[in-house]
Amino acid sequence: MYIWRVENEDKCGCYSIHDIELEDMYIKHSIDYEKYPRPKEDIGINRDINSDEICGFKTKEQALNWFDEDDLKLLSELGFTLKKVYVDKITAIGEKQVLAIRQKTSLSNLPEYL
């Protein structure tokens, strides 16, 4: 299974780093918490994210509702892309986002006979 997530090549999400160039986006997202709720404010999740979890979206459309065109352009300039991320387990589903455990076994590392 997979979720949609904005991350860089190091698999870091855009909220897990502090970049001065993203400050305006961070502020915009923190002011409008109805559109951009933290996991503990998102109905269905209602808790903080655990250290082994990542945050993402059930669908690409849900991700594009969260990140507007200007956000995605800026994020792209800083090395972030919207991509499918394979997960072992979705741990919580909210109205706006999901929490999940990233897939630990790379599909490319599986034996050929599987």
Determine what percent of the chain is predicted with pLDDT higher than 90. 87
Is 84 inside a domain boundary? yes
Is 15 inside a domain boundary? yes
The tens digit of pLDDT for each residue in 41-72 reads 999 999 999 999 999 999 999 999 999 999 99
For residue 59, the enclosing domain spans: 2-109
Determine what percent of the chain is predicted with pLDDT higher than 70. 91
Position 114 pLDDT exceeds 50: no
- In whole angstroms, give the CA distance from residue 56 to residue 85: 9
Is 59 inside a domain boundary? yes
For residue 29, what are its two tokens? 């997202």
- The total domain count for the chain is 1
Confidence (pTM): 0.87
Mean pLDDT over the full length of the chain:
92
3-state SS string for 25-85:
HHHHHHHCCCCCCCHHHCCCCCCCCCCCCEEEECCHHHHHHHCCHHHHHHHHHCCCEEEEE
The Cα-based distances of 111 to 47, 85, 88, 105, 108 in angstroms read: 38, 21, 18, 11, 8
- In whole angstroms, give the CA distance from residue 69 to residue 82: 12
Is 98 inside a domain boundary? yes
The tens digit of pLDDT for each residue in 24-44 reads 999 999 999 899 999 999 999
Is 114 inside a domain boundary? no
Cα dihedral 32, 22, 63, 72 in deg (nearest 10): 130
Position 107 pLDDT exceeds 60: no
Is 64 inside a domain boundary? yes
